[in-house]
Every structure is written in C-alpha cells, then in structure tokens.
Structure 1
Amino acid sequence: MRLNRGEELPEHFWIPITLDTNNITSLSPFLVPQDHLGGPGVFYPLAVFMFFLFVVGTFINTLTIACTAKYKKLRSHLNYILVNLAVANLIVSCVGSFTACISFAARYFLLGPLACKIEGFAATLGGMVSLWSLAVIAFERWLVICKPLGNFVFKPDHAIACCFFTWVFALFASLPPLFGWSRYIPEGLQCSCGPDWYTTNNKYNNESYVMFLFGFCFAVPFATIVFCYSQLLITLKLAAKAQAESASTQKAEKEVTRMVVVMVLGFLVCWLPYASFAVWVVNNRGQQFDLRLATIPSCFSKASTVYNPVIYILLNKQFRSCMMSMLGMGGGEEESSTTSSVTEVSKVGPA
C-alpha cells in the first residue's frame, strides 16, 4: 500500500491491499466482505481467536471483580488498582474482542461506521486505562516496598486517586478522535477499529496524534514501569544480601525478579507492536506495507485482556486462592502472596 502526503480521503474510506496503487477501493468494509485482503483461512482463525479472547477475558476479569466483592480480605487498597485493571480489560473484551469476533466471522465490519467509532473509542479507552494501570501498579509497589518517601503510608484515598488518574488520562487520550484530532476507522483487515495512524489526511492531523500516543501513552508509562521495578529489584537484592542465610528471603528475591521480568515483557508484548508499527508508518510515508500485517498489533493489544490477569491476578496467591474457592475448587484460606512476602523482606532494605 502506498499513500501520498496530503492525499485527501473520504470520511469513511478503505484501502486496497494492492501494494502498487494509490487508488481507493470500492469495496467498503461496512458493506461487503473484504475478501481482497485475505481468504477464509485468514478471517475465520482470527474470528476464533477473538472469540477465545472474548470468552476467557470476560470470564477472568468478571471473576476478579466478583471475588473482590465477595471476599473482604481482597478489598485492600493495594488491590484496588487490580480491580481497576479488570474493569478496563472487561471493556476491551466485551466491546473490542466481541465486535472483532463477529466482524472477522462476517469478513467485514458489518455493524457500520457509528459502531466503528464506538468500538474504536471503547477499545482505546479500556486499553489506555489498562496501560496506565500497569504503570500505577509499578508505582504503588515502588512506594510500598522501596519506601522512597520514608514513613509515608499508602492509604485507600491514594489508591482511589490513582484509579481516578488512569481514567482521566485514558479519556484525555481516547476522546480526541471523536472531535477531529485523528479519527476511528477500520484498521488492518478492516474488521476492527482504532485510531487512524496510516493515512495522510491533513484534516485530521493523524501524525501528531500518533506521536502524542507514542509519547504520552507508551513511552511515559513504560519509563515509569522500568524505573519503579528496577528500584524494586535493587531494594530486594540489598534485602537478600542482608539476610544471606535466610532461604525464604533468597526465594522471595528470585520469585519477584522472575515476576518483574514477566510483567515488563507482558507490557512490551501488549503495546510495543502497536506503538512501533504506528510510528514506523508515520515516519515512512510512501513505503509499502501489507494491511494484513497491521492486524497483528491489534490482536496483541486485545490479548492483554487475558494475559494481564494471568500475570497480575492469577499469579497472586491470595486472588488465586479466593477464585478457586469461589469456583468450588478449594482454597480460600491462603493469605500470602508474592507481593506481601516481598514487603516483609524489604523491611531490612533501605528506608
């Protein structure tokens, strides 16, 4: 696909997969199957994958919210942000994954332009809340475990403020395309919608919006996560060194180190493909790329509704135990978690 700078495009447009033309195809993604972009062997497996994300993502995140409501021991202020993450994931799975599922099954976005805007906004809003929630989780753990503010106590009001912060920032990032700064359009195989990052229509200032998202909604949260977790690891290593003869301390350090690596990798798997591909397109106007390739970043971001709960919630022993108990599989008595054990270990570290 080749796009020229300054090229005017209609309000609802679609781009052919042909790589040597600048013409707009007459095959609307809102009216007819996009079989020129791929055969059934491409669309139907993606429909199955999106159905899996919808079912599993909805189940895990609903269960997280239900468990927190049922078990009082889970309603600690340090778990508020995990519930906040679950709510954001639920929006993406129920709106983004479900809509993409039926669209991939039909091989076009059959719900129409208005639904495209709604789906694009909801998926972006939920995704941004999820992204900033991951950064806030890292920030919370840095405050609680590393104690950079000395005797500062992280209270429920602080946790609620952090959750409010994620929604304000997410709205600040997801609302502009509804008011003319970029727009929500079909992307990739034209069966899901997101911000316009691959056209050059100057009317919408797409390039500046993409760079805004990259800096404000990827680079800043990622830098926050890397800084907070690196400081956490330093604190743990000092604590482990001070308690070199304690097997439990050494075990806790190894567990948390492994957990930190998984958390950072999970963030990168979720957002790096989307951010890097969008920035590449913006900075390489006129270069050829396959629209089918543009579907991959969207799939990775939607898959975060499943693997983020696995990383942050199911690997939390307290949450996992309560979930098993709620499902009638035993458990419910185990109180410890990796985070709590780390907190105990860090007491011998720097205050």
Structure 2
Amino acid sequence: HIYVFKLSSVGGCSLALPPPNSSQFPPLSDWEAPSFTRAAQFRVGATALLFLFAATSNLALLVSVWCGRGRRLASHLRPLILSLAAADLIMTFVAMPLDAAWNVTVQWYAGDALCKLLCFLKLFAMHASAFILVVISLDRQHAILHPLDALNAHQRNRRMLLLAWSLSLLLASPQLFIFRAIRAETADFIQCATHGSFSRRWQETVYNMFHFITLYVVPLLVMSCCYSRILLHIHLQHRRNTGESYLRRSGTDIIPKARMKTLKMTLVIVLSFVVCWTPYYLLGVWYWFHPAVLHATPEYVHHFLFVFGNLNTCCDPVIYGFYTPSFRADLAACCHRGRGARRDVATPSTDRQGPHSRDHEAEHATNNQEGD
C-alpha cells in the first residue's frame, strides 16, 4: 500500500490510501514521510503570535461584556457578542494549538480518542463562528426593517443562538466517526486521518464540499441578503424622506445613532470573516477537484492562507473595541490598575487614589447606550 499526504481544509492533514491498480490514484515509486519544513516553521511561529493575541483580546472581550462596562449593551445584543467571543476562543484554544503542534510533530502522537475529539472540536468551532455571524446579521436586519418589534428581540436571538450551536454540534459530529489514528504499514509513521472512511475519492469530495457549503457558501449568502436588504431599506427611506437618490454618510436622520453604529460594527465583522477565509476555502475547492494543485503551488502559499484565515479570530475583538467605548474603557482601567499596582510595589507610600480616580474618569468617558 502507498500512503499519500494531502491537504484538507476541514480536518487538517489526512492520509489517503490509493486502491491497488487504480487509475485515479497512480502508484508511486516510493513514499517519503513529510518533514517540518521552513514554511511549516513560519506557520507555527505565526500561529503562536496569533494565539497570544486572540486569546488575550477575546478573553478581555468576554470579561468586559459579561461583568464589565459591556453589560450596558442592549439585552438582545449581549448574548450575540458573548457567543461570538466564545466561538473565537474555541478556535483559539483548540484549532491553533492543534495546528501548531501537529506541524511540529508532523505525525500524530495523541492517540485515537484525541484524534476524533480534536478534529470534531475544530470543525465545531468553525461552524459556530460562521453561524453566529449569520444570527448577528439576521438580528441587525430585523432591528432595521422592524424597529418597533424590539421587545421580542431577546427571545428571538436566544432561539437562533440555540439553533446555531445545535447545528454546529450536529454538522461536526461526523468527524468523530471518519477520523482515526492510522499507522502506515511501510514506515513507522502514525497519522490522524480519514483513511478507510471513504471507499471512493468522490465520496470524500462530496463530504468536503458539503462542509464548504455549510461553512462558507450558505452563511455568505444569508449575510449578503441581510445587509443588502438593510442597505436597500436605508436607501428607500432616504428617497422617501428627502427626495434624494443617494445615501448620506451617517444615516442618523433615518436610523438612531446607536443602532447605526452597531450596524456598521457588525457589517465590518462580517466583511473580516469573508476577507480572511475566502482565499483558503477557494484553495480547498481547487484542490478537491484538481489534487495536482497541491504540488503545483508553493508550500508556503498553503501555510500563509491558513494563517490568514485564523487572523479572523483576532479581528472580531479589535473591531468591537473600535466601535465600543465601554470595551476601550475596561482595557484602559485594567492597564491603569496594572501600572498602579507596579508603582505600589515599587513605592509603598504612593497615593492609592490615583488609579481609582482614573477608573472613575474612564467610567464617565463611556457612552450610556452602547447599541440597540
């Protein structure tokens, strides 16, 4: 048997076993185990930096919205931001360390159970992140098109979030059955792979395409539809109220300022998801139908596109902080307390009222209403 490595955007690296005398999988003269190349080293280093930033920023966002000044968010918006931060943290603490360690070790040393579990959690986090963005888009569409129906927004968003998390669990569950730890017969090499789960290559291609559609195509279509309807609604409102055929920059004469600010924030978050993940998914689709592209494109391109996709987990808290004064005030207060504590250690006689007075000023610097 001849084992061939291939790239999979759904589950990481997997081992494929070409059937004997198959024209689709021509036999190879020899097989060389993969190594920890220079491109892979770059990927590990970049992933480590992204991990540190994403973990710190998303944890800060979670704390701010859960128990800090972010509690001022409208009650139907808080669960959306908390869920988005939670999904990003799952990606951060599961997908990033898994990818980095897997590239360093090259083969799989964690056993069969962790092979199944970690591949499941990785796909679960990717689905959850995409579906929560869909929920946020649907919420913004309803808030703009039906502004008088705000009383039902909290319960509606809770139901949509429950559906998003449940669908993520359901769609990721096949990973528990198709991935397993496989030992190569011709070499002392073990890999977490899908070998043996698909009898034909087209079956695995269909499986990957299904997840490409649920992870990217469907969320992109829904989000595009939502924001297209929102922009069309604003445009028509302007024409109706002002008789002009163009959109003003702010739109605050049609939509309250806080709601417009939240709309802009969510739109930028969605755009960051599209920009970060589109190149990686397109490369995956290209590979599934033309496997030779894996050897035709430089190795560093594959690694760079995956790292660029993971950049999305860092973008969400940055975008939220840019549009939300309460988050910036929480970060400023935390930094002031840290500097005050260091000064207290260095000079115990320092006046301890300084940091607290600055926290009080930061408190008054935030807006009373963060969003609608």
- TM-score, normalised via structure 2 length: 0.68
In the alignment, the residues of structure 1 paired with residue 327 and residue 209 of structure 2 have an alpha-carbon distance, to the nearest angstrom, of: 37
How far apart, in 2, do the equivalents of 1:185 and 1:300 lie?
28
> 1:92: how far off?
1.1
The aligned residue for residue 249 of structure 1 is 252
Structure 1 Cα separation of the partners of residues 100 and 292 of structure 2: 31
- Alignment of 1:280 with 2:286, yes or no, is yes
**Residues 259 and 169 of structure 1: is their aligned pair in 2 closer, same or farther, counting only changes over 3 Å?**
same
Counterpart Cα distance in 1 of 2:131 and 2:115: 24
Which residue in 1 is equivalent to 2:342?
A: none
Secondary structure at the counterpart of residue 64 of structure 1: helix
CA contact under 8 A between 1:139 and 1:228: conserved in structure 2?
A: yes
Judge conservation of contact 1:103–1:109 (CA < 8 Å) in 2: yes
Say whether 1:236 aligns with 2:234. yes
> In 1, Cα distance between the equivalents of 2:171 and 2:302?
21
Q: What corresponds to 1:153 in structure 2? A: 151
Name the counterpart of 2:343.
none
Task: Report what 1:58 is aligned to.
Answer: 55
- Structure 1 position 335 matched with structure 2 position 332: no
Question: Which letter does structure 1 place at the counterpart of 2:275?
Answer: V
Matches within 5 A, 1:1-351: 13=15, 22=28, 25-27=31-33, 34-35=35-36, 38=37, 41-71=38-68, 72-74=71-73, 76-106=75-105, 109-112=108-111, 114-147=113-146, 151=149, 153-180=151-178, 183=179, 202=200, 205-239=203-237, 242=241, 249=252, 259=265, 262-285=268-291, 289=295, 290=297, 292=299, 293-328=301-336, 330=359, 331-333=362-364, 334-335=366-367, 340=371
Please tell me the residue identity of whatever aligns with 1:205. Q
1:310 positional shift: 1.9
Over 3 Å counting, the alpha-carbon distance change for 1:23 and 1:119 in structure 2 is farther
SS in structure 1 of the partner of residue 327 of structure 2: helix
* Structure 1: gaps of 5 or more residues: 5-10, 187-192, 344-351
Once the two structures are superposed, residues 223-250 of structure 1 have per-residue CA deviations (whole angstroms, 9 ceiling, x without a partner) of 1111111222233344556479997837
Is the CA contact (8 Å cut-off) linking 2:58 and 2:85 kept in structure 1?
A: yes
Q: TM-score, normalised by structure 1?
A: 0.72
2:137 maps to amino acid: A
Q: Which residue of 2 aligns with 1:190?
A: none
Q: Secondary structure at the match of 2:144?
A: helix
Give, in whole Å, the separation in 2 of the partners of 1:78 and 1:194.
39
Aligned length: 311
Structure 2 unmatched runs, 5+: 7-12, 18-25, 183-190, 338-358
Paired amino acid for 1:283? F
CA RMSD of aligned residues (A): 4.2
Question: 1:324·1:332 contact (CA, 8 Å) conserved in 2?
Answer: no
CA distance in 2, matches of 1:102, 1:131: 25
CA distance in 1, matches of 2:53, 2:319: 14
Q: Distance in 1 between matches of 2:227 and 2:63?
A: 29
